Amino acid sequence: DAGVIQSPRHEVTEMGQEVTLRCKPISGHDYLFWYRQTMMRGLELLIYFNNNVPIDDSGMPEDRFSAKMPNASFSTLKIQPSEPRDSAVYFCASSLTPKESSPLHFGNGTRLTVT
């Protein structure tokens, strides 16, 4: 099992550019989560999907952020246009069936720097 795979590991871009972060969840997991981690705010849940359907996107900070899950093995988080305050580490996580005792499995994250 390769675990949750995220790409790229690092992304440096200029303000105003579009950024796309990618995630491949663990096969068979039907929940997928996108988190953002910063020193100031800690770990924030942005959005989560169940069976490829977005369930709660209330954590998405602005309309500049969008996420999709076109199939069970792939999800994207897009920021357009990007701003310096979007600089953070973005994590994708997946989980098994909707049981409250199921732990999350995290990818190694994408470190985004917007200059």
Partner 1 sequence: AQSVAQPEDQVKVAEGNPLTVKCTYSVSGNPYLFWYVQYPNRGLQFLLKYITGDNLVKGSYGFEAEFNKSQTSFHLKKPSALVSDSALYFCAVRGGGSYIPTFGRGTSLIVHP
Give min distance, CB of 17 to partner 1, in A.
24
Give min distance, CB of 23 to partner 1, in A.
11
**Residue 91 dihedral angles phi and psi, to the nearest 5°:** -115, 145
Looking at the Cβ atoms of 10 and 16, the one nearer to partner 1 is 10
Looking at the Cβ atoms of 39 and 63, the one nearer to partner 1 is 39
Write out the residues near partner 1 by the rule CB under 8 A.
Answer: 4, 31, 42-43, 45, 48, 56, 91, 93, 98, 100-101, 103-109, 111
Give min distance, CB of 91 to partner 1, in A.
6
* 3-class state of residue 97 by DSSP: coil
Give min distance, CB of 59 to partner 1, in A.
10
The encoded tokens of residue 77 equal: 């988080």
Looking at the Cβ atoms of 79 and 92, the one nearer to partner 1 is 92
Beta strand spans in 1-115 (E): 5-7, 10-13, 19-24, 31-38, 42-50, 53-56, 65-71, 74-79, 88-95, 105-106, 110-114
Looking at the Cβ atoms of 72 and 81, the one nearer to partner 1 is 72
**Spatial separation of the C-alpha atoms in residues 68 and 100, rounded to whole Å:** 24
